[in-house]
Amino acid sequence: MHGLGRQYVLAERRGNLDGPTTGEVVLPLHLDWSPGPGARTYDLSSPPRVKSLYTVVLREARTLEDLHYLNWGLLVDVWPGLRIPDRVCDMWEVTFAELAGNPGLWGHRRRGS
């Protein structure tokens, strides 16, 4: 889907989001061009790093294959705290009602930036 000249990717179904839930994930340069050693490495045992990983992938994915780093269960857990463009948020919440109804830690729907 497109948003203001930018193409975003949306999973076809939640079953396609079967990415890792443990260990470390190293994103390729086309998704994360962060400088420095280990900057593109995300430890899935660290909640802040999981949020960062999911934010980067949702913002930067250009193909369905790029979404293979995401896991449905983790996505639902971190969704309320993600800082993603409104267009991305809307696309995913319209397609996956569970995300739209996720109240987050403070009992209200979160909105990205």
Instruction: Name 42's bridge partners.
Output: 25
Look at residue 93 in the predicted model and tell me its pLDDT: 93
Q: For each of the chain's 113 residues, which pLDDT tens digit applies?
A: 544 567 899 999 999 999 999 999 999 999 998 888 788 999 999 999 999 999 999 999 999 999 999 999 999 999 999 999 989 999 999 999 889 876 554 444 444 43
Q: Which H/E stretch holds residue 74?
A: helix 72-78
Strand residue runs (E) in 1-113: 2-3, 6-7, 24-26, 41-43
Instruction: Name 71's bridge partners.
Output: 18
C-alpha span between 84 and 101 (Å, rounded): 17
